[in-house]
Structure 1
Amino acid sequence: MNKEKRLEILTRLRDDNPHPTTELNFSSPFELLIAVLLSAQATDVGVNKATDKLFPVANTPQAILDLGLEGLKSYIKTIGLFNTKAVNTMKTCQMLVDLHGGEVPENREALEALPGVGRKTANVVLNTAFGWPTIAVDTHIFRVSNRTKLAMGKNVDLVEQKLLKVVPKEFKVDVHHWLILHGRYTCVARKPKCGSCIIEDLCEFKDKTEL
């Protein structure tokens, strides 16, 4: 894909949604971190249903520690893999209290040292909570980037590297959200809604649909 076409795609996505953000409900970096931890192999809707009940009761590391493991599980038991996620959440909260004064560190290395936090989660927190120009590549972004040929790669790390290279600075903070939302609602996995897509004429996907 050439530079001009890529720029037009990003411009259209920006014009359609000038101020995008995550669909996870949060009001602090800590709430975002916990929501993202819980979102692995789960929907944002499902996570929000759980955290909408959890956060009014416990939305700091110490408050979650005070709930205890079984107490935390009672709030997140509707989320897939909740047992493992509960353990990681408790360990993460303990590390935040012990090492970071109960605050979420604005530092990639420190974030990735937390249990259950990998590069993608760290990217989401750095981008959405702190405004860093990071790009967290999930299955939606991977699909959209490869399908449109915006940034092709055989795995999520390669797609991330390509996006960081080819996306102009002015779009970097928001591109992660645009591509996730585009993949979630328009460029869906099984039958993309090409007929109602705002970038259909720019997309280089060969098997376009009429929907």
Structure 2
Amino acid sequence: MNKEKRYEILSRLREQNPHPETELEYSSPFELLVAVTLSAQATDVGVNKATRKLFPVANTPQAILDLGLEGLRDYIKTIGLFNSKANNVYKMCEILVNKHNSEVPENREALEALPGVGRKTANVVLNCAFGWPTIAVDTHIFRVSNRTKFAMGKDVVAVEQKLEKVVPKEFKVDVHHWLILHGRYVCTARKPKCGSCIIEDLCEFKEKTE
């Protein structure tokens, strides 16, 4: 795919949604960090349902430690893998209190050193909480990037590197939101809705649907 086509795709996505945001609900960097950690292999809808009950009661590292591990588990037990996620969030809170003065660090290395936080989670936090032009590649972005031929790669890291290279600076802060939402609602896994897609004429996917 050439750069003119990529530019047009991003321009249309921007025009359709000029100020995209994550669908996870949060009101602070810490709430976002917890929500993204809980969202691994879970839906944003499911995470929001749990955090709507958790955050009014505990939305700081110390407040979650005060809840205790069992208390935290009770709030998030509707989310898949809740036992390991509760352990990770609890240990994360201990580190934030002891090492980071209860603040979420604006630093990739420090974020990735937290339990349950990988590259994707760090990218989301740096992007959404701090406005960094990072691109978090999830399954939706991986699929959309490869299927459209926008940025092809054999794994999420390869796709991230390709996107970093081919996405112009003016789109970098918002591109991962556009691609996630596009993959979630239009370019869906089993049957993409090509007929109602605003970039269908630019997309290089060969097996388009009606």
Aligned position for 1:164: 164
1:57 aligns with 57
The ranges of structure 1 where at least 4 consecutive aligned residues each deviate by more than 3 angstroms after the TM superposition are none
Aligned counterpart, 1:190: 190
C-alpha displacement at 1:85, in angstroms? Answer: 0.2
Q: Alpha-carbon deviation of 1:196?
A: 0.1
Equivalent in the alignment of 1:136: 136
The answer to whether 1:4 aligns with 2:9 is no
Q: Could you tell me how far 1:190 is from its partner in structure 2? A: 0.2
Task: Tell me by how many angstroms 1:149 deviates.
Answer: 0.6
Counterpart of 1:40 in structure 2 is 40
Structure 1 match to 2:113: 113
Question: Aligned-pair distance for 1:205?
Answer: 0.2
Counterpart of 2:72? 72
Distance 1:152 1:26 in 2: 32
1:111-141 deviations in whole A, cap 9, x for unaligned?
Answer: 0000000000000000000000000000000
Point out where structure 2 has 5 or more consecutive residues left out of the alignment: none
Aligned mates of 2:38, 2:126 — CA distance in 1: 17
Give the letter aligned to residue 139 of structure 2.
Answer: T
**Structure 1, residues 39-73: CA drift from partner, whole Å, max 9, x if none?**
00100000000000000000000000000000001
Letter in 2 for 1:29: P
User: Following the alignment from structure 1 to structure 2, what is the Cα–Cα distance between the partners of residues 208 and 128?
Assistant: 33
Q: Distance between the aligned counterparts of 1:194 and 1:36, measured in 2?
A: 29
What letter matches 1:87 in structure 2? Answer: N
CA distance in 2, matches of 1:73, 1:155: 32
SS of corresponding position for 1:173? coil
Equivalent position amino acid for 2:14 in 1: R
Q: Measure the CA separation in 2 of the matches of 1:5 and 1:72.
A: 47
Alpha-carbon RMSD across the aligned residues, in angstroms, is: 0.3
One-letter code aligned to 1:8: E
User: What amino acid does structure 2 have at the position aligned with 1:77?
Assistant: K
2:94 match: 94
Deviation at 1:177, TM superposition (A): 0.1
CA distance, structure 2, for counterparts of residue 138 and residue 74 of structure 1: 27
Helix, strand or coil at the partner of 1:8: helix
State the distance in 2 between where 1:19 and 1:143 align.
Answer: 23
Structure-1-length-normalised TM-score: 0.99
Alignment size in residue pairs: 210
Shift of 1:7: 0.2
Cα-to-partner distance string for 1:11-35 (whole Å, 9 max, x where unaligned) = 0000000000100000000000000
Q: Distance in 2 between matches of 1:201 and 1:176?
A: 21
Match of 1:178 in 2: 178
